[in-house]
Amino acid sequence: MTSSAALIDGLSVLREEFPSSVDELAEAVKRAAALKEPMSATGGGTKLHIGNPLRSAPVMIHTGALCGVVEYEPDNMTVSALAGTRLGELQNVLRGRRQFLPLDPPAAEAATLGGLVACNTSGPLRFRYGTVKDMLLGVRVLHADGTRTKAGGKLVKNVTGYDMCRLYTGSLGTLGLFTELTFKVNPLPETNATLLASYRDLDSLLQAKQDCLAAGLLPDAIEGWNSSAFAPLGPTATPAHWFLMVRFGDVMPAVEWQVAKLREIVAHGGGEVLQLLEGEASERFWQGASSLREASEGAEIAAVKCSVLHRSTSEAALRMERLAGRLGARLSVYCHAGACVLYGRFAWDEARPQPLELRRELEELRKYCVSAGGHAVIERAGPAVKDGLDVWGYEAPALEVMRRIKREFDPNGLLNPGRFVGGI
């Protein structure tokens, strides 16, 4: 049986394993370890483009069959599920008790819990609720030699000690394979509403964000997208270049007051209110918006994530626009305005730039972000572009500590070799 994940950055896999239980997963890992074969795992296959190229063809282990809720305690607001469980499936279970896991990553319906934690993926809701590591209470992990360990627990208050859950979060499967994860969940708000507004420039939009926070508003999400990113959500007649999307979730009076206050802020700041979406219409809007960042557009795409300070956000976006102009690309910018994280997606229908040119331009963008007190990660690029480029661009004293941790957890370097920071 061969799957669509038989290629990673153009590299064919040695073979594919499809375990249907944790015991079968352990046996698959032990077989590969005995033969000193590198291993890579995938759940929903939504993040295979992340990371540096693998050093050698791996055994691809598919964890999608390891799914289902293991334990759900609505009164304690915790849930444990197998790592291959789809986020969408878990949300359906939680909604039955008016609860939810406040994660809204791209491809939310297909993404698996193990993949979300391994890649530390989040979406607009991170502004109010935090990222994956803020919700993760416990993990069960299978290591490269077949050893099974656990960390954390199933209560919001766990025992003191090293927070191993945070160590595993975002490790891209280089320390072990998740088998089970425990999260704290939240009650669903009584209602929610989303206000859409337009601005002629990003500076005005960001000032509106600052005014929103200064006024004591508590949005679930604050997004600022350029016209190319926003266009699939619905055409508008406005000549604006930037669009503000603010979501509120709370009891009805609180939502109504915040929406009214935001209308005043938008009008005072020179923006234009486009639409107010309430209840199910608001939910549908964000469901449609959540996956646009990863949507395939054109024949070829490259994507970069820039984390910058508030004062550098507009300049980072401007440099993305200039880069797109030089490369002849269509640019979509998705900005988590509240956290000052920008995702730029460059798309070409044809005449894609040469790999060396694209690599050089992306590295220049990264240099600016670092000089401005931030960072940039190349999230998506072709294998020829990644060749000779560390997509993470991480150089810090902590890198040697990370290498030592990798050697302790995976001494033979079999788990996702070369894909993480610094070639770990």
What is the per-residue pLDDT for 2? 43
Number of alpha carbons in the 13 Å side-chain half-sphere of residue 5: 21
Chain centroid, CA 187 distance in Å:
22
The set of residues, in sequence order, having a beta carbon less than 8 Å from that of 213 and lying 6+ positions away, is 338
For tokens 């994660």, the residue is 103
Say if residues 265 and 336 touch (Cβ distance below 8 Å). Answer: no
For tokens 């305005």, the residue is 337
| 0.85 exceeded by pTM | yes
Per-residue pLDDT for the chain (424 aa), expressed as one digit of tens each?
444 445 788 888 999 999 999 999 999 999 999 999 999 999 988 888 899 999 988 999 999 999 999 999 999 999 999 999 999 999 999 999 999 999 999 888 889 999 999 999 989 999 999 999 999 999 999 999 999 999 988 776 655 567 899 999 999 999 999 999 999 999 999 999 999 999 999 999 999 999 999 999 999 999 999 999 999 887 665 666 999 999 999 999 999 999 999 999 999 999 999 999 999 999 999 988 988 887 655 456 899 999 999 999 999 999 999 999 999 999 999 999 999 999 999 998 877 889 999 999 999 999 999 999 999 999 999 888 998 888 998 777 788 899 999 999 999 999 999 999 988 9
Kind of pairing, strands 375-380 and 272-278?
Answer: unpaired
Closest CA to 341 of 358, 360, 320: 320
Domains of the chain with CATH codes: 1-188 (3.30.465.10), 191-290 (3.30.70.2190), 293-386 (3.30.70.600)
In three-state secondary structure terms, 394 is: coil
Both structure tokens of 156: 């919001």
Say how far apart CA 248 and CA 57 lie, in whole Å: 46
The set of residues, in sequence order, having a beta carbon less than 8 Å from that of 346 and lying 6+ positions away, is 301, 302, 303, 304, 323, 324, 327, 329, 330, 331
What is the per-residue pLDDT for 1? 40
Say if residues 220 and 127 touch (Cβ distance below 8 Å). Answer: yes
For tokens 């595993």, the residue is 168
Say how far apart CA 331 and CA 347 lie, in whole Å: 7
Say if residues 342 and 333 touch (Cβ distance below 8 Å). Answer: yes
Question: What amino acid occupies position 346?
Answer: F
Chain centroid, CA 377 distance in Å:
12
The three state secondary structure string of 8-30 is: ECCEECCEEECCCCHHHHHHHHH
Q: Facing residues of 224 across strands?
A: 244, 335
What is the per-residue pLDDT for 4? 46
Phi first, then psi, for residue 12 (nearest 5°) are -70, 150
Cβ count near 367 (within 10 Å): 12
Say if residues 160 and 148 touch (Cβ distance below 8 Å). Answer: no
Q: Facing residues of 376 across strands?
A: 306
Rg (CA), the chain: 22
Contacts 24+ apart (CB under 8 A), 252-261: 252/190, 252/191, 255/189, 255/191, 255/192, 255/193, 256/193, 258/217, 258/218, 258/219, 259/193, 259/195, 261/215, 261/217
Say if residues 297 and 349 touch (Cβ distance below 8 Å). Answer: no
Number of alpha carbons in the 13 Å side-chain half-sphere of residue 188: 17
From residue 274, give the alpha-carbon distance in Å to each of 188, 269, 346: 26, 14, 27
Both structure tokens of 383: 């294998």
What is the per-residue pLDDT for 93? 97
Cβ count near 201 (within 10 Å): 15
Q: Kind and range of the H or E element at 247?
A: strand 242-250
Question: What amino acid occupies position 383?
Answer: P
